[in-house]
Amino acid sequence: MTTTLITGATLPDGTTTDLLIADGVIAERGAGLSGPAGARVLDAAGLVALPGLVDLHTHLREPGFEQSETVLSGTRAAAAGGFTAVFAMANTMPVSDTAGVVEQVQALGDAAGYATVRPIGAVTVGLGGERLSEIGAMANSRAGVRVFSDDGKCVHDSLLMRRALEYVKTFDGVVAQHAQDPRLTENAQMNEGALSSELGLKGWPAVAEESIIARDVLLAKHVGARLHICHLSTAGSVDVVRWAKARGIEVTAEVTPHHLLLTEELIRSYDARYKVNPPLRRDEDVRALREGLVDGTIDIVATDHAPHPEESKDCEWDHASFGMVGLESALSVVQAAMVDTGLFDWADVARVLSQTPAQIGRLEGHTHSFEIGASANLVLVDPASSSTFSVDRLAGKSHNSPYLGMTLPGSVRHTFHRGYPTVLDGSVLSASEVAAAATAAGVARG
């Protein structure tokens, strides 16, 4: 197993140190370290070392939609973006609503080796919103599922949502709600407001998200359960979650990178790359989401990485699919929206993109403080670089990124998953190299 010496890296707290990675763990840290003969030496002067990023909201599409993404290609995209763990959403085909499917997804992730894959289980059978799926079986499976979500669909039946919140408590799990009142958003295409009216696109009103969140935080309070809200997108949602947290309700919330940077104005082009659910909102929503992330109302950033093949976007707006890829661009977008604006330092970035999502998802073995002996999941980024975001930066199967052609700061230089590199000098290592390293590290389970 290779040993790597990283010299002169800047930690999230601003201090500079060398790090020695050996046997999959951080073996030594401090100034002036020297590695054994044959060790890989990486000069990290000017680079920021972050704990490996953790995405609580990724669509890997496998099984069922392999033309969009596979576990292998999706985790390759994750590595390119500095992620070492991803939570894979349940809206696959078949739906991840049984122990068999979640174990398969996890096994595919282990074999690929680019990142730790933690499957998310469906709350209801087939995402049908009618009866609970086998939550206990998934929780007790080898995949050890702790996050349950019908993402893509809202658990809109109030009684079913109450039961889900209660039942999931049994397994120390959490329900991650896709907050969208289905009746208020029938055939909705973009944020409802003056612009949707002008463009003639059917509106997705903010109240359709906010009313579900309000109901769910009250349900969570009533039954004393943990609730996670996916992809908050409106200023009103931030207000509701802030209200709930002030009352001690156990709610956590996420925001996507795109909702922190992009607004609905882009839709004037009718370019379907900007079609996403929940939709891009107004300037004032972007500001409120950033403020919410700063004051802790919003706990984490999660990508909602949603790959689609070209034909799903190269068409009329109404006919296009919802979603954008986000793993490869997330860190750059968060840097642009939060760090370069002075709202965040790198310790904040480490918190919202690694530490807290790992806690919410009950992810074991992911270190956040570079302590000696911890599993070596880390990413080295060059915050001083700036470049036009191009297809070269995309490492998954799909190219439906809204950032293509935009200038974004920062780049991932090196990513280490459990002590072995998945990205070196900005290049993603080959699938065979990474799989071999994963096997050597004892990650793959047969």
Which residues sit at the interface with other proteins, rule CB under 8 A?
192-203, 205, 269-270, 311, 314-319
Check residue 408 and give left, alpha or beta (phi > 0: left; psi -120 to 50: alpha): beta
Q: How far is the CB of 206 from other proteins (least distance, A)?
A: 10
* Active-site residue, 304 included: yes
* Residue 411, phi then psi, degrees to nearest 5: -155, 150
Residue 281 in contact with residue 297, Cβ under 8 Å? no
> What is d(CA 51, CA 368) in angstroms, rounded to the nearest whole number?
5
Q: How far is the CB of 265 from other proteins (least distance, A)?
A: 14
Check residue 103 and give left, alpha or beta (phi > 0: left; psi -120 to 50: alpha): alpha
Q: Toward other proteins, which CB reaches closer, 72 or 320?
A: 320
Q: How far is the CB of 312 from other proteins (least distance, A)?
A: 11
**Which residues in 367-403 are b (16+ Cβ under 10 Å) and which e?**
bbebeeebbbbbbbbbbeeeeebeeebbbbbbebbbb
Q: Toward other proteins, which CB reaches closer, 203 or 236?
A: 203
> What is d(CA 47, CA 378) in angstroms, rounded to the nearest whole number?
12
> What is d(CA 144, CA 141) in angstroms, rounded to the nearest whole number?
5
> What is d(CA 232, CA 238) in angstroms, rounded to the nearest whole number?
7
Which one of the listed residues 110, 304, 318, 348 is annotated catalytic? 304
Outline where 271-395 has alpha helix (H): 283-294, 330-334, 346-350, 356-360
> What is d(CA 62, CA 108) in angstroms, rounded to the nearest whole number?
9
The two three-digit tokens of residue 226, written as one number: 């943990």
Q: How far is the CB of 157 from other proteins (least distance, A)?
A: 22
Q: How far is the CB of 310 from other proteins (least distance, A)?
A: 10
Task: Please give the positions annotated as active site.
Answer: 304
